[in-house]
Structure 1
Amino acid sequence: MSQNAERSRMRNSTQRTAPSSPQEVREREFESFVRATEPSLKAVLHARLGQDRGQLAVAEALAWAWVNWKKLPSIDHPIQYLAKVGTSRTRLRRLDPKVEARPPIEQGDYEPKLDDALKALSRQQRVCVFLIAALGFTYSEAAGHLGLSKSTVQRHYERGIEKLRSSIDPPTDESDSP
């Protein structure tokens, strides 16, 4: 075996061994926590706040989690709690309007009325529609992440979808047609 291959094997084997210090244990536990919770946290915060502020909120929430790591195990619903932390920490900042600008959509089907129709929904309806229709969450999953009952999430979703449908494709009055 070449010297480089041996060094690589040794390095990899030492990386898989048990952590030797409390700091390494904490880091590994936190990394595992982030891998498990970040996708859901990101989905909730992006749905609530939009992509740019949502990404900032995820970073703020995970930074808070790192600093308060000892408190986190005592929190019953960590994703819901961290979503509130991220939301409140980004609320205090004024974001540069340039950061919120979206690039033009280049491909795929796009309904021009969709942006305005989504803005017309209540915040809860918009979040529920995004989590369920766009990300494929079940009512129960969305309810757990948002701290709402399943029936409340279902009601927000159904009302939101109905408003979107009527905004994008309003019913036509048949009596006006020749």
Structure 2
Amino acid sequence: MVFDDASAEFHDFFERHYAELSRLAFLLTGEADVADDLAADAMLALWHRWDRLRGADHPVAYARGVVANMARNRTRRAMRERSRIRVLWAGRSERIDEPDLAAGLDVRAALARLPFRKRSCVVLRHAFDLSEKEAAQALGISVGTVKSQTSKGMAELRRLLGGQASGDLVEEGFSGRRPRASAPGR
């Protein structure tokens, strides 16, 4: 297969960054299959803009922003859908209690409970070791917002994890090891 320069550059970009973008999507959504889909969709969007992006200073930062926006939009759609379902089931007399998540709470479950912006800041800062400035660029927010949301997110994770050494747990949770899609309880 013969590539022109742009195609070869994009192919190289894809090979170097797809796994990272998929990992970012996984940590933002908590769903392995969704993460792969989001990373693929983001790469497709990047390919359509590659002529403009290939000369950019930080195309990876732009790609992270695309993934974060796609994950946020997916989360919003899911929340709207859950709200619609709740309204439909509100009139029923039988109720199903929420499962007791506290008993088996791990870092990924705790992350899933954080609001999207806090989760994004914590993931980009701690899982991807981005600077506050890089995280701000990826999310399209100010450095001060990244600082405050990261601090608040980490405090909330400590609270959710029951006072355990959250720094160590967060590092384990961000190790990049994703459970298999068929793994029970994940």
TM over 0.5, shorter chain:
yes
Q: What stretches of structure 1 of length at least 5 have no aligned partner? A: 1-20, 95-110, 171-178
Asked if 1:33 is matched to 2:13, the reply is: yes
CA distance in 2, matches of 1:153, 1:162: 14
- What is the Cα deviation at residue 46 of structure 1? 2.9
- What is the Cα deviation at residue 53 of structure 1? 1.5
Higher-Rg structure is 1
Q: How does 1:1-178 map to 2 (within 5 A)?
A: 23-35=3-15, 37-38=17-18, 41-50=21-30, 51-73=32-54, 78-80=62-64, 82-83=66-67, 86-87=70-71, 112-114=104-106, 115-169=108-162
Q: Per the alignment, in what secondary structure is the counterpart of residue 50 of structure 2?
A: coil
The count of corresponding residues between Structure 1 and Structure 2 is 134
Q: Per the alignment, in what secondary structure is the counterpart of residue 70 of structure 1?
A: helix
CA distance in 1, matches of 2:46, 2:12: 13
- What is the Cα deviation at residue 151 of structure 1? 1.3
Q: Which amino acid in 1 is paired with 2:8?
A: R
Structure 2 vs 1, CA of residues 52 and 72 (structure 1 numbering), >3 Å: closer, same or farther? same
Provide the aligned C-alpha RMSD in A.
3.6
Alpha-carbon deviations, 1:41-80, whole Å to 9, x = none? 4454333333332221110111222244334458786325
Structure 2 vs 1, CA of residues 57 and 89 (structure 1 numbering), >3 Å: closer, same or farther? farther
CA distance in 1, matches of 2:5, 2:152: 47
More displaced stretch, 131-140 vs 144-153: 131-140
- Give % identity: 24
Q: What stretches of structure 2 of length at least 5 have no aligned partner? A: 79-102, 164-186
